């Protein structure tokens, strides 16, 4: 059975890069009838916060993603200790005592010789007496994993065949001096214990994957999971999207009025050979294929996302948005304005036009407005009122086309473009229409 995981750290709010990773794992699992695990990599107690954890749940629910099981690394420290002891006994986990200044000096020396900054394994040459003396002097060891000779190779499901030579990589630190296990270690133990079959994540993890393959094989004899690395999303200038760039956080997009469906529909096709389309999660899952993803970095295009958001908004029913509209706004209002919205938040601006106050527009032709006021049809008003009224105004003034419709729109809405006035006029109503026209001619 296919089993994948999305493993965010609760050290910040989710952004589009996180959302894409979660979405692709979700769609792959659903397309294969598999299992989607949400695992919180929450071992960083200094930066992790409860509000970030809750934010992860809230954002995923908002996107429409559900999961089949959950886990938290903070609940598994005893398991990590057991795995660490087994690696120590096998000679694969060794203690180190160099501080950061000493390591920096070693890296600088290697850089002068134009060599890669790979750890020299000096700690492996320490005798038991030297280690005891270091600890007696107050030093606490941190622990590195001794990488195998050679290289790690795997057939990446997106990038193709990949190879990373271990000679270009330092033995990774798996456990800090305070005993806290690091992500590169805990993630492998979790993937083994949860029987993860496919690991789908960003291309920035390629080197991590090589290290984790070696660690995986040191921890278990079970088959390796399959790996797929998605090229990272870039901004308009080709730069990697920043995790802390507020303009692409899910929270800010939600606040701005971007629909969850627009985000999932856009991200599901980003970097593939298929154009974004306003599809549901079920439709996206039915057509999902990892082979559709290319090897080049896709560009996040806000204009394309906004265009998709517009298409989705225009197709939403009143029931879909009723709880997000002003309290008194009804179905007639929604049907009148939805075709003119880029973002749902813009609906509140049109509600103010319909039911609130507008800035008095500066219209020079007050005689035209006076004629419009004099020919206002009697209430009640309906869909044909605008046509009846403009015909009467045209006959009285001789105005037609833009010269007829534009001043009336501006006088009643304060805007020179917007929703169809035939639908807006009954919502504005006789009293408010008369008041707005009167303000101009007085």
Q: In this predicted model, what pLDDT tens digit does every residue of 97-120 receive, in sequence order?
A: 999 999 999 999 999 999 999 999
Confidence of residue 242 (pLDDT cuts 50, 70, 90): low
CB atoms within 10 A of CB 345: 13
Cα separation, 322 vs 325, in Å, equals 5
Q: In 165-205, which residue ranges form alpha helices assigned H by DSSP?
A: 183-193
Q: What is the pLDDT of residue 245?
A: 44
The answer to whether the beta carbons of residues 153 and 161 sit under 8 Å apart is: yes
Would strands 226-230 and 198-202 be described as parallel, antiparallel, or unpaired?
parallel
Domain ranges of the chain: 79-175, 357-441
Compute the average pLDDT of residues 372-391: 95
The answer to whether the beta carbons of residues 419 and 398 sit under 8 Å apart is: no
Q: In this predicted model, what pLDDT tens digit does every residue of 49-72 receive, in sequence order?
A: 999 999 999 999 999 999 999 999
Residue 172: exposed, middle, or buried by beta-carbon count in 10 A (0-12, 13-18, 19+)? buried
Confidence of residue 246 (pLDDT cuts 50, 70, 90): very low
Q: Is the pLDDT of residue 263 over 80?
A: yes
Give me the chain's average pLDDT, please: 93
- Smallest CA-to-CA distance from 414 within 395, 381, 439 is with 439
Confidence of residue 316 (pLDDT cuts 50, 70, 90): very high
Q: What is the pLDDT of residue 424?
A: 97
Q: Is the pLDDT of residue 334 over 50?
A: yes
Six token digits for residue 339: 């075709």
Cα separation, 29 vs 285, in Å, equals 9
Q: Is the pLDDT of residue 365 over 90?
A: no
Q: Is the pLDDT of residue 332 over 90?
A: yes
Q: What is the pLDDT of residue 243?
A: 46
Distance of CA 375 to the CA centre of its chain: 53
Six token digits for residue 46: 């200094």
The answer to whether the beta carbons of residues 143 and 175 sit under 8 Å apart is: yes
Percent of the chain with pLDDT over 70: 97
Compute the average pLDDT of residues 200-208: 94
Q: What is the pLDDT of residue 361?
A: 87
Q: What is the pLDDT of residue 239?
A: 63
Six token digits for residue 284: 């996206």
Q: What is the pLDDT of residue 244?
A: 42
Compute the average pLDDT of residues 168-175: 95
Q: What is the pLDDT of residue 1?
A: 93
Compute the average pLDDT of residues 354-359: 93
For the entire predicted model, the pTM comes to: 0.89
Q: In this predicted model, what pLDDT tens digit does every residue of 12-53 receive, in sequence order?
A: 999 999 999 999 999 999 999 999 999 999 988 788 899 999
Q: What is the pLDDT of residue 238?
A: 58
Q: How many angstroms separate the first and last alpha carbons of the chain?
A: 76
CATH topology of domain 79-175: 3.90.800
* Bond preceding residue 176 cis, omega within 30 of 0: no
Compute the average pLDDT of residues 373-400: 95
Q: What is the pLDDT of residue 442?
A: 79
CATH of the domain spanning 357-441, picked from 3.30.365.10, 1.20.120.1200, 1.10.10.350, 3.40.50.300:
1.10.10.350
Cα separation, 107 vs 103, in Å, equals 6
């Amino acid at each position: 059975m296919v089993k994948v995981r999305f493993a965010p750290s609760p050290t910040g709010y989710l952004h589009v890069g996180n959302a894409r990773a979660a979405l692709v794992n979700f769609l792959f699992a659903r397309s294969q009838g598999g299992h989607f695990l949400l695992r919180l990599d929450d071992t960083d107690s200094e930066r992790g916060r409860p509000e970030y954890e809750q934010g992860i749940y809230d954002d995923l629910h908002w996107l429409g993603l559900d999961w089949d099981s959950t886990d938290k690394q903070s609940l598994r420290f005893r398991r990590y200790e057991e795995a660490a002891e087994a690696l120590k006994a096998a000679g694969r986990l060794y203690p180190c005592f160099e501080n950061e200044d000493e390591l920096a000096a070693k890296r600088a020396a290697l850089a002068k010789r134009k060599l890669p900054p790979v750890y020299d394994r000096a700690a492996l040459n320490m005798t038991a007496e030297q280690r005891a003396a270091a600890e007696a002097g107050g030093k606490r060891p941190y622990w590195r994993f001794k990488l195998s000779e050679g290289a790690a190779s795997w057939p990446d499901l997106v990038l193709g065949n990949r190879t990373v030579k271990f000679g270009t990589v330092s033995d990774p630190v798996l456990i800090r001096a305070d005993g806290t296990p690091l992500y590169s270690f805990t993630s492998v133990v979790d993937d083994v214990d949860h029987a993860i079959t496919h690991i789908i994540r960003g291309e920035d993890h390629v080197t991590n994957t090589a290290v984790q393959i070696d660690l995986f094989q040191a921890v278990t004899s079970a088959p390796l999971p399959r790996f797929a690395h998605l090229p990272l999303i870039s901004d308009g200038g080709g730069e990697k999207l920043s995790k802390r760039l507020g303009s692409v956080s899910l929270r800010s997009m939600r606040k701005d009025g971007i629909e969850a469906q627009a985000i999932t529909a856009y991200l599901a096709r980003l970097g593939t050979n298929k154009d974004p389309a306003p599809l549901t999660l079920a439709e996206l899952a039915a057509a999902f294929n990892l082979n559709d993803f290319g090897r080049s970095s896709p560009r996040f295009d806000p204009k394309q996302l906004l265009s998709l958001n517009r298409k989705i908004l225009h197709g939403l029913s009143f029931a879909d948005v009723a709880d997000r509209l002003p309290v008194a706004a009804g179905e007639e209002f929604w049907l009148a304005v939805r075709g003119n919205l880029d973002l749902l938040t813009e609906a509140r601006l049109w509600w103010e036009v319909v039911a609130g106050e507008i800035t008095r527009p500066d219209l020079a032709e007050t005689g035209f407005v006076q004629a419009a006021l004099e020919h206002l049809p009697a209430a009640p008003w309906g869909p044909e009122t605008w046509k009846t009224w403009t015909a009467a105004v045209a006959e009285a003034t001789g105005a037609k086309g833009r010269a007829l419709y534009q001043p009336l729109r501006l006088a009643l809405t304060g805007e020179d473009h917007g929703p169809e006035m035939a639908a807006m006029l009954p919502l504005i109503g006789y009293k408010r229409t008369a008041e707005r026209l009167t303000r101009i001619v007085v």
